[in-house]
Each structure stands twice: as C-alpha cells, then as structure tokens.
Amino acid sequence: MQQAENTQRPARLSVGVVGAGRVGSVLGAALERAGHRVVAASAVSEHSRGRAARRLPSARIAEPAEVVAESDLVLLTVPDDALEPLVRGLVETGADFTGTFLVHASGAHGYHALAPATAAGALPLALHPVMTFTGRDEDLDRLASCSFGVTAPDALRPIAEALVVEMGAEPVWIAEEHRTLYHAALTGGANHLVTLVAESASLLSAAGVEHPSRLLGPLLGAALDNGLRLGMDGLSGPVLRGDTETVSAHIDELRRHSPESVPAYVALARLTADRALAAGLLKPHDAERLLDVLQA
C-alpha cells in the first residue's frame, strides 16, 4: 500500500469504492476525473452495479475486503448506521489497512467512526459532500458548486482538503466534536425543506391549484434568498405581523385537510415567533397572543 506523504497534494492513487450507490459512484468518478484511478468497487444491488458500470467503467466488481486490498484510497459510501459495523467487520476479516486512506462520506460521523481501522493502520478522513444526490448524471457536475464538510486528524488535514479541491469543491473544516450538530443543521435545512415544499404543493392542489410549482417556485426562491442573505430580517408573513386570527384559521383548516401536518406547522410557527421576538421584529404583546394560539 502507498504510504501517506507529507505533501499538500496527494499522489495519483488507486481508488476503491465500498458502496457504489448514488454518492459512491459520483465521488469515485470525481476522483477519477481528477487523475486518480478507480480500480475496484463493491456493489450489491442491480442499481449500484449499473451505476458502477456507467460511472466507474475501469473498476472491477469485488467484495469489500478485496476492494481494500487493491486500493490506496477506499471510499466507504454506505448509510450512516452501516458505517461503523462495516468498519468493524472489515477489521475482523483481517483486511490490510496499513497506509490506506480510508474515507467516508457520512455527515453524521467524524473520523472517529473509523477508529478500529485506524488502529489497524488506516489513515482516516471524513469528507461529506454538502449536496443532495438523486442518482442522475447531473450529480457529478453539482460537486463543482458545493462544499465538503472535512474532518480529519490534524496531520491529514492538508491531504483531506486537497482531495476535496481536486474534486472541484470547497473544503470546510468541521471539528470532530461538532460533527453531529453540523449534520443536524444540514438535515433540518435540506431534508425537511423538501417535505415542507411537497406538503405546500399538496395543499395547493387540494385548494384547486392546477400547477402548484408555478406559485411556489418564485415565492420559495425569494424566501430562500432572503433567508440566506438577511437571516431573520428576511422574514415575512402572518407570524411576523402578529396576525393571530390568520394563524388560528390556518390551524383549523389544516386540521380538516392535513391533520398530520398540524404539529409541524405549530412547532415551526412557535420557533418563528421566538426568533422574531428575539430579533426585535415581533412586538411582545403580539408574541404573547400568538403563543396562546400555538398551544395546539
């Protein structure tokens, strides 16, 4: 195995991918585009095998332990909850990690999730692409406009950041102890946003709107831009105005059409009121009336 070098730029590496799904196939292709060579990949499902064949044509399909044996850098791109059991299992099978860069792409974990392999000689890196992956071909191009949450031992930080730059993205350092908070923030922003948009579209359809996306696109695009640029100063709507009767009517109507969404609406309205009050955007007496209504 190629040993780690004290350099800002990693040498050309033989890359292996354990879990050639939506993320693994894209990161492998990005590393190959940067000049590395993907030599082996594990892929269980038919979809994963198809992605590996399409995006990693030079890779031999192999068992995970074989992927490790053939690679200087191994991507472990499996679901969050499967990462640590996978690492333990590979160590127990006697996989040789000496001098191997072991990279996972989980946002929820830092490099300590790789501890058993690190004790066996692996060089651990946590490189999390801050991007959604749909399995479509545009996923690879989107890497050029995204950031990676990077966590690694201090000695490996330059190499971790160099790998991200080689893939065309921007490295952002995340301390090991902040990794879960970092991931919670991203999950709440991105995953829950999709649910909120889908719920809004469903309610608009119930209200007789034929093409909900035409209404939501400009509105949500402006709201996102305002939130990113202005923070709470970009807020608008009935909570900001203290329109208690409007909020109450919303809750009553949601109980009729989408009762499962009421707790989320109430919780988000309460959080919005709390933040608006703290920012001096909502008057205390309006906040008090709103919070009375939001006891639902």
Residue 222's identity, in one-letter code, is A
Nearest residue to 114 via CA among 55, 73, 58? 73
Query: Tell me, what's the pLDDT at 6?
Result: 40
Alpha helix (H) residue ranges in 38-134: 46-55, 64-70, 80-92, 115-119
Dist CA 12 CA 31 (whole Å): 10
Q: What is the DSSP string of 220-274?
A: HHHHHHHHHHHGGGG--SHHHHT-HHHHHHHHHHHHHH-GGGHHHHHHHHHHHHH
- Determine the average pLDDT of the residues in 130-157: 92
Dist CA 151 CA 160 (whole Å): 8
Residue 192 region, left (φ>0) first, then alpha (ψ -120 to 50), else beta?
alpha
- Indicate the pLDDT class of residue 131, thresholds 50, 70 and 90: very high
Name the pairing type of β-strands 73-76 and 60-61: unpaired
Hey, which residues does 227 pair with through a beta bridge?
Answer: none
pTM exceeding 0.75: yes
Task: Indicate whether 285 pLDDT > 70.
Answer: yes
Q: To the nearest whole number, what is the mean pLDDT of the chain? A: 93
Token code pair at residue 241: 């105005």
Q: What is the pLDDT of residues 231-263, one digit of tens each?
A: 999 999 999 999 999 999 999 999 999 999 999
**Which one is predicted more confidently, 6 or 253?**
253
User: 117 and 90 in contact (C-beta within 8 Å)?
Assistant: yes
SS3 call for 108: coil
Q: What is the pLDDT of residues 146-168, one digit of tens each?
A: 999 999 999 999 999 999 999 99
SS3 call for 84: helix
Query: Tell me, what's the pLDDT at 2?
Result: 44
Rg value, the chain, Cα? 23
Task: Indicate whether 137 pLDDT > 90.
Answer: no
Dist CA 22 CA 32 (whole Å): 16
Query: Tell me, what's the pLDDT at 136?
Result: 82
Dist CA 149 CA 154 (whole Å): 15
Cα pseudo-dihedral 263, 224, 219, 131, rounded to 10 = -90
Dist CA 83 CA 112 (whole Å): 11
